[in-house]
Each structure stands twice: as structure tokens, then as C-alpha cells.
Structure 1
């Protein structure tokens, strides 16, 4: 039996025996009556176990420490006082596995920094139980969304020989100790993927609408609260989509996820609302029921320039067309100016990737970023360049080695669906939907600069 099932069937279980295994969250020994607070991981909700000094198992169970595993057989009693709707009077208690005196998760406040150093234990706390249960639900929800829309799920390679973004921030994977990659495992230089997009585009040419969802890796030496070396990306690729349809898809999936977790994870969201971000649930309802803003990049620059002229203190004050918006600019637009999730479209080609479709003005590309409050950029997408001459020219301008991308560029020579797609940072989404402020706290075992502990 699971504690989750007991909560679902409280009214039917009054006066009945229940039995289950669980971990001790706290243990209070009284003169005659003692209390165990336990949880088995099936729900964020705990159960209080009551036992007495004259119980024949008292001597054994009184030794149970915080973190120990116990077997419980008891009678459920519905209560009207306190936070819990019921408690269990123990008939039998067994100490299955005790903890030693070095157990670091005692019943007290722990900082997130401390908990990152014991990432193998932090899922046992209510905070991380809530976050990781939400992470699991959102993961499953994403697959449900695309299944309903008849998208094909494709698993793209983790090891590749190209850098999809052209930023040179990839991890090299090798079996040698020098740079002679001709003698390496693949006979050439290989790296961990920074994006599954290019491979997804190839599958879109066969199936029209596809998505890939998996781990990606970037060797960006960033210490910010929203960057990690290993993270998950959701990357759909859609045939015959333009920016309008792409933005609609992005808005639809975010609202779909919000609706899902409000229905299936309300206990976890209530905990996050009370402990991570006050007003979180109201925020989610607001997003669910509002339309996202859309603004041209050129208009965004005008808004930021006006804010600067009116005294807003940006760190980057050189605001002009061609500026690659930083987090402070992104957050100003969606937090201060529009106060809602905001799409910025049609960026200068110089600050965007080689594969984005060149607009008729010759200086912007059909790109879109979704900016959300407290995070900044959550989603980046574009229409893909379908003109083979233009994409070759762009590769030449950026000194991109075409030999590594011939297979991708040549897709345009063999009957080409015009496609568009986006990349959504999964961990940033979880941060936004839980109120957690650091990406290190929404990944089970974070990999960041100078950090590879587990």
C-alpha cells in the first residue's frame, strides 16, 4: 500500500488496518505516547504514526532515527484537528533500516547550497520532492501533448561531429590523449551534442511534424543561476510552419502543461507557492488565461531605449539595433513593460544562427524568442532557411565548415518541406513553473563549471 492511496481513500479507510513501508521524517518520543512522521515518496503529504510506551515493539522502534526505514501496520483514524486529516495508531512497527549519526538531513532548515553538496540525499526533503515530482509530471505531459498532435518522437544523437549553434562551446568526446583525431574512435573529431535540431529537421522531411527531447551539453563557462553544462532540451520541428504558427504552438504547450500540473500536482504547487514563490498558483492561472504579447525586435529596442532615457539603470546601456539582448533587457520587456510572457520576433541576422530564414529586408531573420518574467529567454526558435544558396552564403560568412554540414544543407536539394522549430530549455521551464531560482536546484545531479560531484 502507498500513502498516496491512503489519502485517496481516507473515508473508506476509517477504522481499518493499513500497512506500508516509509521513511521517518521526524520522531518525537513522549513520556507515554510517541509520534513518527513518515513519508514513502508516493505523495508530498506525510503521515503521523502514534505508538505507546507499553507497545511490545516500543524498545526497537524508539531507536528509529530521522531517515530510517520502518514497516507500519496500524489502524487509521480520521481527525478534525491539526494539519493532517488522519493519523495511524500503530499495531506493529518494525525498524527495517536505521541511519547512523552522520545523517545530514536532520529536522532543521538547510540552505540550497548545502543541499547541492548532498544531492544524493536532497530528494528526501519536501522542497525537492515537490520540484522533482513536478519535473516528472511535466516530462510526461510534454509527450502527451505531442502525441495528441500526431508528432513523431525521434531520439537524436548525443555524440555528433557538428556544433549546431556554431558557438564553439561543445564538449569533445575522445579515446585519445592528443589531438590526432584521425586515430580516434570515429576517425574524426566528435563532441557531445549542443542541440538535436539539425537531425530533427532531417526527420521532419519524412514525417512533417516531429520532436526530440533529450539531454544537451554546452561547455559555456557561465556561473549564472540559469546555465548548466548538461541540461534537457525540447525541440519540435514542424513542416509548413511560419512564425505565427510556431508561436501558437509554443503558447499552446506552455498552457497545456500549466493546466496539467494544476490538475495533477496541486499539492506540490501549493508547497512551492508557500515556500518558493508566493503567488505562484495565481501566476500560473494568469498565464493560462492570458494571451502572450508579440513585439518586433526593432520595437523592443525602442522600448528599451526609451526606458534608459527615462532613467532605468541598465548595465548594458549601449542599446541600439544589433544588440544581442541580455537577461536584464529580456526581463525588463516581459516584467516591467508588458508584465506577461512576450514573444520578440525578427532579430538581426548577425546575432542569430546560420540556419534561420533571411527576411525580405535582408538584415533580419525569421526568429522568435519567448521571454518570461524572472527567467528571461525560455524558448528560441525560427523559420529555417530553405534557399540552399542563402544558407551556403551564411555558412561562408560565419566561417562554418560546410563539410560537417553537407548532409544537412543538401536536404534542400531533395524535395524540401519549409520548416520551423524551436528549442525550449526544460530546466528553465521548471524554474518558471515552480518558483525555484537556480537551475542547479531543478536538475537531479547538476553539472556546472568546476562541479562534477556525483
Structure 2
């Protein structure tokens, strides 16, 4: 008999249907009621067995975590919370789970801390919490690809191994086949990278943006969606050493076009997840509300998860310049009462506390800040006519702060050469990037969305390590 997934069964089956399900035992009560889940949905199916008709040895093997195949007939459930009961005619144990071993793991049916769950990342998929998170992660990813495909964008696979530092931060993981104990040296006793595999020093990429720009200048509208790496020694709830970036690049777009695209894109993702992951969203929403009850008032979320998603879908994003943002912050009550931890001065980057004040307290809607000082933005951002600011933009969300960063790119060859000099970027290393400005250069723009930041928003999780299957952080690479 062909197996039916529980999600499909609950949506499209009728009383009296004979079906087979396969999944894992979530609970077994009174030697009669088995809760089974197969990962296709948050919801379980309750299988009901007749104890007297089953061998005692088989009953003992129906334990939490065991994999089972169950065949039976659907009847109207006598219990609350479910439509169907599966009256078992045949049950097979596909894989045993030792109760003593299960009791030491996150599969034990009780509340576990997120820290403990991270220690068993290979098993945390089995919990309701992480089942919901990773189904939503999938839907978020699918929504991104769907959005761009529907609008005629081309997906570009940009290199993971690169010889350039797109962000200029220098925090990159080196890729090398040289003997670390005895590397070849030059005459001045420096490592001779010409002897390495690629004949030069190479690293894991921090961004696919520069390569995506090259494709956009021929294909018009492209996007990348791939892994990126930062060797930043940050043990925070917002940083990973390995994460995924979504980076569209569009020829002939200016900064305003870029903001329009990003706003529409984010609203689309939130709407898609709300429509396609309703059960998982509701579960996470209820969990967050319960968690907030045990927190001090100051640490609770201003809005529920569902309210935050609707906050993005139902509001036009507020658009202000960096200079206007500084003025608003300096005139705010928190600033005047010295409640901000970090200074608010023109020429310094905004901190999360400033960004969240603008979104959650002042405007009460998502905010796009544009035209930042050139002093702390990347070399590739277009210099504005004032000579002090660049055509950059950041999008700020409730609970998250910055979720997207982007800009109109500097298309003028001479200006870009000067920017490279100012950032101490050798022209010979970036010749290919500069070269595109010689052959039909044109205005173009793009942005970067940290995918895990987006999943944090769509799931409501507060730690980025809980929205990626196997987080890579300083001193942590077990799985």
C-alpha cells in the first residue's frame, strides 16, 4: 500500500479511507494511543491500537522516537484537537529507539533550553519547535526564488572561492593547499602564494555582489543566493561565520528603484510565509507569547510574531535620509534622557538601539534610511553630488534592526578608481570589476539580504543560531 503524508491525509482524506502512514512516535499513551509525526506538518495523526490483538513484544517497541509504518482506517476522533483517528489494522516497527537513550536527548518529551538543543543539532529537527522553524526556512527560501523568477530575474551562481574582499573588512577564511608547517617562502621570507593551488592568495567569499554586477550588465536583472563566510570573532545572537546571502543586481536601476524593489520583495516574502505556513506561524506565535509572560516587561516583544509580519505587509515603508535620522534621534526623548547606550552623531553608524527606536517607537512602521556618510560605507557605493554621502540604503525592521543593506553602485570609472585608492584596494586586483565601467557603463543598483536574518524575522527566533541547521560560530563546528 502506498504511504500518504500526514499533511495530505489531514487535508484531503475522508472517514472510512484505508491509509498507510509512516513516521516517528511522538508519544504513546495507555498502550493504546500513538501520536505519529512524519515532518510534513506540525500536526500529528493519532493511531489507535487494540492492545489485546498485539504481541507484548511489539507494544514494548512502540517508544518515543521509534520509526513506524501504520496501516488502518480513518474514523472520527473521539478526542479533542483532532479530526481523525487512525484505527490500526497493521503496525510495523521500522527503527527502534531505546527509551534510556532517548531520555538523554532532546527527543525526550519535555521543555529543553535552546542551548541544549544546539548541542544536539543532529536531533533537534525532531522537536516541534525546530520542525516549524525549518519548514518556515524552506518556505522563506522558496518565496525568494519564486519572487525573482516571476519577475524575470536570472539566478547566478557566484564563486565561493575568491581572490577579492568585496566588503573590504579583511575578515576572511583563507583557502590554501600549502603545507602550514613548511610553506614556500619568497626571498624576503614571506609566504610565496604563487606556489599555492590557484597561484595567488584566495579566501572564502564574503559576498557574491561584485560578480553579480558583472552579470547584471549583460543580463539586466540577476540575483545570487549562496553561502558566504566571515571570520569575525563575534559570539553574539546576530552573527555566524557561515551564512547565506541573497543579492539582486539590476541594470539601469537607481537608488529609488532599489528601495522600491527591496520593499516589495520583503512584503512578498512575509505574505507568502503567512499564507503557506499558517500552522507553524501560529505555533511559534503562541510559543513567543508564552515565553514573554516570564520576562520582565522591558524585555518583552512590542508586537507578537503575527503582528510583526502584518506590520511589514500592511505598511508602506517610511523613507528618510541618514541626516534626517540623526536629527530625529537627537531630538528624541531617549537621547535627551541619555537612555541610548551609543552616541548619536553625524558621521557615526547607527546602532541597533537607534534603528529599533525609529521603527518601533517613532514611525511605527518599517523604515528605509538612505544617503549615508561615505566614510563608513563600502567603496563600490555611488558618491553623491555633495561629495560626503553615498547612494546607500538600509531597511530596518521591528525586533531585528537592519535587515537589508544596499546601494546604487558607482558606475563612473574615474570615480571608482579614486574610491579604490581611498580604500587601499589595488587596481590590479580589481581590474575585472573596473573593466566593466569601460564598456557601456550604466547606472545599476542592488542590495544584500542576510537570509538567516530574514528567517529570524519570519520565525520570531531571537538567536541566529536557531534558524540555520548547523551553525558555524567561533570554536563551534561539531556537526
For this structure pair, what is the TM-score category when the shorter chain's length is used for normalisation?
A: over 0.9
**Cα distance, 1:80 vs structure 2:** 6.2
Map 1:62-211; keep pairs closer than 5 Å.
62-79=60-77, 81-100=79-98, 101-103=100-102, 104=105, 105-176=107-178, 177=180, 178=183, 179-211=191-223
Q: From 263, 267, 271, give the equivalent of 2:283.
A: 271
Say which SS state the counterpart of residue 49 (structure 2) adopts: strand
| 1:18 alignment counterpart | 19
Judge which range, 95-104 or 58-67, deviates more: 58-67
Distance across 2 between alignment mates of 1:339 and 1:450: 39
Map 1:155-304; keep pairs closer than 5 Å.
155-176=157-178, 177=180, 178=183, 179-276=191-288, 279-304=304-329
**Cα distance, 1:344 vs structure 2:** 0.5
Measured against aligned partners, the alpha-carbon deviations of 1:65-121 in whole angstroms (never above 9, x if no partner) come to 211101101111123641112111111111111112222110100111001011011
Distance across 2 between alignment mates of 1:190 and 1:85: 58
Distance across 1 between alignment mates of 2:117 and 2:446: 37
**Cα distance, 1:371 vs structure 2:** 0.8
Distance across 2 between alignment mates of 1:118 and 1:309: 43
Q: From 348, 353, 356, give the equivalent of 1:331.
A: 356
Measured against aligned partners, the alpha-carbon deviations of 1:298-344 in whole angstroms (never above 9, x if no partner) come to 11111222225421411112x21101112222222212222221100
Say which SS state the counterpart of residue 377 (structure 1) adopts: strand
Map 1:427-446; keep pairs closer than 5 Å.
427-446=452-471
TM-score calculated relative to the size of structure 2: 0.91
Q: From 403, 406, 413, give the equivalent of 2:428.
A: 403
Do the aligned partners of 1:61 and 1:93 also contact (CA within 8 Å) in 2?
A: no
Q: From 291, 316, 321, give the equivalent of 2:342.
A: 316
Listed as ranges, the gaps of 5+ residues in structure 2 are: 184-190, 290-302
Listed as ranges, the gaps of 5+ residues in structure 1 are: none
Distance across 2 between alignment mates of 1:291 and 1:56: 61
Distance across 1 between alignment mates of 2:110 and 2:369: 44
Do the aligned partners of 1:181 and 1:189 also contact (CA within 8 Å) in 2?
A: yes
Judge which range, 327-336 or 169-178, deviates more: 327-336
Distance across 2 between alignment mates of 1:266 and 1:21: 23
Distance across 2 between alignment mates of 1:20 and 1:44: 15
Measured against aligned partners, the alpha-carbon deviations of 1:366-410 in whole angstroms (never above 9, x if no partner) come to 000001111111000000011111111111111112221110011
Distance across 1 between alignment mates of 2:44 and 2:110: 16
| 2:51 alignment counterpart | 53
Number of aligned residue pairs: give it.
Answer: 448
Say which SS state the counterpart of residue 364 (structure 2) adopts: coil
Moved over 4 A (4+): none
TM-score calculated relative to the size of structure 1: 0.96
| 1:383 alignment counterpart | 408
Map 1:331-370; keep pairs closer than 5 Å.
331-370=356-395
Do the aligned partners of 1:238 and 1:419 also contact (CA within 8 Å) in 2?
A: yes
**Cα distance, 1:347 vs structure 2:** 0.1
